[in-house]
Amino acid sequence: MTSATTGHLWRLGTRGSDLARTQSRQVADALTAAGAGELDLVVVRTEGDVSTAPLSSLGGTGVFAGALRAALLDGEVDVVVHSLKDLPTAPHPGLTIAAVPPREDPRDALCARDGHTLATLPPGARVGTGSPRRAALLLITRPDLTIVDIRGNVPTRLARTENDLDAVVLALSGLRRLGLEDRATDILGPPTFLPAPGQGALAVETRDDVDSELPGLAAALRAVHHAPSAAAVVAERTLLGRLEAGCAAPVGALATLDGDRLALDALVSRPDGALHLRRSGGRSLDPADTELAAGLGRDLADELLIAGAGDLMDTA
């Protein structure tokens, strides 16, 4: 099968989970609508998908990106889709993030048995999450909770609430993309709950030579790019990179754009939630000016480091 528009069938690399394939298909459809032609999904198995060990013990977020990036550099695929919160903050030689589509809701969601909210969970309730950030935020609000480290895809995690767990915490964006939003019993958002930097956003990554080698695809990528979403995640991810924090450090950040003003809220916590720091900042900018957005992230990270964020992260 080839595209009537380009005469070429583009190959889009994706992880194999239901969520990854669903969001990759949404990107493929958007690119097709923007004139790229047809895109065929190519499933790439990553270390994070194969191993059942805690993510922090595998080396952090890169465990989901490495195999996809290798397939891209080897020419096995033309473009890949990442969940931005799973993508390392450092740029990868030879590759570029060519598009950030409009961001889905970045908040977290509690999915509990018997319709419980975070406030109504019984004392000592067992709550599952594989995220040190979510664990710390839960304990800041409810230090009596028992946090259980879990792995697995969204349906697997949800099923635990019918067995050994009272609740799990998942990204609201993933539930929405899978049509499972009705499983959320409580939406956990600012100011108490700050999401992971980049949560709810997708990154469409290609090789650096996409403009010269794949002009039809490059034009479609520019068409699906959403500058306000990109500015927000650039601020959040720059803060994360400046802190030199990975998935083992409980760091939350959320940037929001209101007109031409970008506001950024951030939190760094000890894993047990007993000590944490919060800082906020903002500046006026054009959403297309990612340098100013990055500057906001750097400045807020420096404020946190001066206040002692490094000591909190060292305990993670």
Assess whether 157 carries a catalytic annotation. Answer: yes
> Is there a catalytic annotation at residue 133?
yes
User: Which entry of 15, 69, 78, 86 is annotated as an active-site residue?
Assistant: 86
- Selecting among 69, 133, 183, 270, the annotated active-site residue is 133
- Establish whether 134 is a catalytic residue: yes
Asked if 88 and 33 count as a contact pair (C-beta separation under 8 A), the reply is: no
> Does the active-site annotation cover 278?
no
| Token pair 């490059």: residue | 218
Active site residue 85: yes
3-state SS assignment for residue 265: strand
* DSSP code for 99: E
Tokens of 141: 């609000």
Cβ–Cβ under 8 Å, residues 15 and 64: yes
Helix (H, G, I), strand (E, B) or coil at 201: coil
Task: Indicate which residue of 21, 126, 142, 151 is catalytic.
Answer: 151
d(CA 231, CA 291): 9
Which of 157, 160, 270, 279 does the annotation list as catalytic? 157
| Angle of the 290-306 helix axis to the 227-243 helix axis, nearest 10 | 30
Instruction: List beta partners, residue 255.
Output: 264
DSSP of 119-173 = TTSPTT-EEE-S-HHHHHHHHHH-TT-EEE---S-HHHHHHGGGTT-SEEEEEHH
Q: Contact at 8 Å (CB) between 15 and 208?
A: no
Separation of alpha carbons 172 and 104, rounded Å: 9
| Spatial contact of 204 and 100, defined as CB atoms under 8 Å apart | yes
For the chain, the residue count is: 316
Encoded tokens for 184: 């959320």
Bridge partner list, 262: 257, 283
Indicate which residues carry an active-site annotation: 85-86, 133-134, 151, 157, 247
